[in-house]
Structure 1
């Protein structure tokens, strides 16, 4: 979920809220977000949360990414807290990665 908080906060424009059902998946999402952002030339201004896999916050100034364990997402309910803010539609259909067998066929 992406929430436009620009009219409510001066410190950032958007919150990205993602969750997973276990700590390992939370950490994998954190690693992937950091890797993709690093490749795009961005480093977080701040990173909160440890490797426990419960809740990690990545602050990229204009965008703050919250990656939470599902239990934390339900308990802290950031979605409800910011429900008066507009959401930004995101296409979650990620194209499948194709592999080739050497002759160019997938």
Structure 2
């Protein structure tokens, strides 16, 4: 089984929103074969807490406006170091770059297929499906 078209659409919206706020190393994984609770993870990072919060706001706004969804759960917003936005179909992880390096979610999910992100979400300093 692979991520639903709906989940991939939400991933693309979230990735583009994060990219618009200069998120770094945006990656998406299809975790549907490994987890029953969600289809995809979006990972991205920022160099400071303020930018993490800015990315969170943009992702939430865009997914509400374009995807018609609100998070069913939010975690970590107060500290601004690692914010998790759970939309049931997808989970978006926005991490401070130090947390991202420390926790290494990419290592945990490296065996899952990567989801190809739109070109607009794959700029300089960001990683798309091909790691570029």
More displaced 10-residue stretch of structure 1: 58-67 or 33-42:
33-42
Q: What is the CA distance between 1:91 and its match in structure 2? A: 2.1
For 2:57, the equivalent position in structure 1 comes to 31
* Structure 1 vs Structure 2 CA RMSD: 1.1
More displaced 10-residue stretch of structure 1: 84-93 or 70-79:
84-93
Return the match for 2:76 from 46, 49, 54. 49
Question: Where in structure 1 are there 5+ consecutive unaligned residues?
Answer: 95-106
Does 2:94 correspond to 1:67? Answer: yes
Question: Higher Cα Rg: structure 1 or 2?
Answer: 1
Q: Is the 8 A contact 2:75 2:83 kept in 1?
A: yes
Find the aligned partners of 1:78 and 1:8 in 2 and give their Cα distance.
14
Find the aligned partners of 1:19 and 1:92 in 2 and give their Cα distance.
18
Question: Where in structure 2 are there 5+ consecutive unaligned residues?
Answer: 1-26, 122-132
Q: Segments of 4+ in structure 1 off by > 6 A? A: none
Query: TM-score by structure 1 length?
Result: 0.84
Higher helix proportion, which one?
Answer: 2
Does 2:13 correspond to 1:19? Answer: no
For 2:127, the equivalent position in structure 1 comes to none
Paired residue total? 94
Query: TM-score by structure 2 length?
Result: 0.68
Q: Is the 8 A contact 1:27 1:51 kept in 2?
A: no
